[in-house]
Amino acid sequence: MKDKINVAVIGLGSWGECHIEAYRSLPHVEVVALCDIRQERLAEIGARYQVEGLYTNSNELLERDDIDLVSIATSEEDHLQAALRALSTGKHVLVEKPVSTKLGEAEAMWKIAIENKRFIWPGHVARFEPRYAEIKRAITSERIGKPQSMYFRKARPKEMFGHYNQTHTVYLSMVHDIDLAIWYSDNRVKSVKAYGKWLTGTVSPDILWSCLEFHDGTLAFLQCNWMTPESAGLILNDSVEVIGSSGTAHFENRGAGFEIWSDTSPFSPALTSYLNLSELVDDALRDQLQYVCSCVSMQKEPSYTSFPDAIHGIEVANAIVLSASTGKEIEL
C-alpha cells in the first residue's frame, strides 16, 4: 500500500482546475505536475496552487518516474496520445468524459492499460453523485427490482450552448446518462433510435432524444437540451425515473433545491455538481477521485467504474449520432 499518491493533471480548463482542487482536499495525495499548452494559464494555475512541475509538453511531464496517477482533462481529441503515453510509462490514468468520440481510440486505451498492467478510469462522475448511486443500490438490493424502463433528462441554459456546441450533445451531455443506463441495466444495448432538433444551425443538436433497447428488453429514453432560458436562473434541470419489476425510483434535480431571488432573476446554483468553500471540497468529483486514489494506493482493480462500459457507451453514442442524422434505427 502506497503512503502517498503523486498526481499530474493534463489540461487546465475549468474542469481540470476542479480536479486540482479535489485532489488537494484528499489526504496523502499531492499534485506534483501540471500541463497545458497555454503558457499563461499554466503559470497562473501553477502559482495559485503552488505546483512547481509545470509543462507545456505532456510527453516531457510523462517522462517523470515519480508520478503515480494522471488526470487527462484536455479536449477529447487530445485524450488518446496522452493516455497511451501515460499508460506506457507506468502511470495509472483517469480520462475525462467523453474518453473519446472514436470507438477505436477508446479500445486502444483499454488494450494498452491491460498490456502495461495499469488502471484506467472514465470520468463518469455521475456514478458518485449520491442520488444516482442510491438508485443503483435500490436495483441491486431488489427494492425496485430489475429495470424495465428508464427515463433521463438533462436541460442546460441556452447561453452555455455557445461555449460547447462544437462537441455533439451526445458526447458532451448525454454520455453521462448513457453510462447510467448501462450501469443500471447491467446489460448491453441492442438498438438505437434517435431524433435531433437543430435550431441554431450548429453541428450539435439543441435538442436530442434517444431510445435505447437493451438485449434483455430493457428500454431507456434519454433527452438532452440546451433550451433553458437565462431568466430561469437554472444551471441544472435534470430528471431520472427508473421503473423496476417491483418498484420505481425517481428524482428531479432542478437546481439544488436552493434558490436566490433578487431584482434581476432567480438563481439556483449547481451545488450538487461541484462546491469549493475555503479549500473544502465535498462533492461527487472528490468522491470519484478518492475512489481512484484508493485503487492506486491499494493496487485494487477498479470495479465501481468500468472502462469496458465506457467503450460500449461510445459505441452507443456513435449510433445515436448516426440515427439522429439519418432518421434510421441503428442495430449494434
The pLDDT tens digits of the residues spanning 128-183 come to 999 999 999 999 999 999 999 999 999 999 988 877 778 899 999 999 999 999 99
Q: What pLDDT does 266 receive?
A: 55
φ, ψ at 39 (rounded to 5°): -60, -40
Q: What pLDDT does 203 receive?
A: 87
Q: What pLDDT does 329 receive?
A: 98
For the chain, residues with pLDDT lower than 70 are 254-282
- Cβ contacts of 291 within 8 Å, gap of 6 or more: 128, 302, 304, 305
User: Can 5-123 and 127-274+313-331 be said to share one CATH topology?
Assistant: no
Q: What pLDDT does 3 receive?
A: 87
Cα distances (angstroms) measured from residue 245 to each of 54, 80, 143, 149, 321: 53, 40, 9, 9, 31
Q: What pLDDT does 232 receive?
A: 79
Q: What pLDDT does 253 receive?
A: 78
Q: What pLDDT does 265 receive?
A: 57
Q: What pLDDT does 257 receive?
A: 54
Name the β-bridge partners of 268: 234
Cell 480520462 found at: 95
pTM value? 0.91
Q: What pLDDT does 278 receive?
A: 33
Q: What pLDDT does 274 receive?
A: 47
Q: What pLDDT does 270 receive?
A: 53
Three-state DSSP state, 312: helix
Q: What pLDDT does 279 receive?
A: 37
Q: What pLDDT does 181 receive?
A: 98
The length of the chain is: 332
Domain ranges of the chain: 5-123, 127-274+313-331
Q: What pLDDT does 162 receive?
A: 79
> Which architecture, in CATH terms, is 5-123?
3-Layer(aba) Sandwich (3.40)
> Which architecture, in CATH terms, is 127-274+313-331?
2-Layer Sandwich (3.30)
